[in-house]
């Protein structure tokens, strides 16, 4: 009999603990939603690119304001021609300066790639830019 009461009290304590955790998670979600409402997705970026020997140099200036902040960038790129469109991506962390450059290596020469830069914040992805087509060529050395 004492054992039944003991098990019952343990069950009650566990139920109360689960209810408290649920209420705390709900409160945190409400706080996040309330804080998240004051921003908008990032603005459309405009990048430029130069093709080199099995690599490309992508550069852009961050376009953002206090209502459209950016936490980081994603560079998406893929071959323009071909049957299968495999999209690659590279994550670029935010920095204090608004000028960005990224080198994408491991590309094939004499192939056109489309590069697009997109900003990301708590609201999600920003608008995807039209992008720019870059042709990689073995006779162009970007860096010595």
Each domain of the chain, given as residue ranges in start order, spans: 1-37, 47-135
Kindly indicate the confidence band of residue 58, based on its pLDDT and cuts at 50, 70 and 90: very high
Kindly indicate the confidence band of residue 60, based on its pLDDT and cuts at 50, 70 and 90: very high
Return the CATH number of the domain spanning residue range 47-135. Answer: 2.60.40.10
Q: In this model, does residue 89 exceed pLDDT 70? A: yes
pLDDT in tens, 109-138: 999 999 999 999 989 999 989 999 999 998
Distance CA 116, CA 16 (A): 50
Distance CA 91, CA 55 (A): 16
Higher pLDDT, 128 or 29: 128
Distance CA 135, CA 55 (A): 9
Name residue, tokens 């670029």.
92
Q: In this model, does residue 81 exceed pLDDT 90? A: no
Distance CA 81, CA 31 (A): 47
pTM of the model: 0.71
Distance CA 115, CA 132 (A): 5
The confidence score (pLDDT) of residue 72 equals 94
């Amino acid at each position: 009999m004492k054992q039944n009461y003991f098990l019952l009290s343990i069950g009650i304590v566990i139920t109360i603990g689960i209810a408290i955790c649920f209420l705390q998670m709900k409160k945190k979600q409400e706080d996040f939603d309330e804080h998240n409402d004051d921003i908008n997705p990032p603005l459309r970026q405009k990048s430029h690119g130069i093709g080199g020997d099995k690599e490309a140099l992508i550069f852009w200036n961050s376009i953002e304001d206090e209502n459209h902040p950016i936490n980081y960038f994603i560079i998406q790129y893929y071959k323009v021609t071909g049957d299968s469109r495999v999209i690659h991506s590279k994550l670029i962390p935010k920095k204090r300066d608004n000028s960005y450059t990224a080198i994408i290596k491991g590309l094939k020469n004499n192939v056109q790639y489309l590069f697009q830069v997109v900003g990301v914040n708590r609201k999600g992805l920003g608008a995807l830019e039209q992008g720019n087509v870059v042709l990689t060529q073995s006779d162009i050395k970007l860096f010595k």
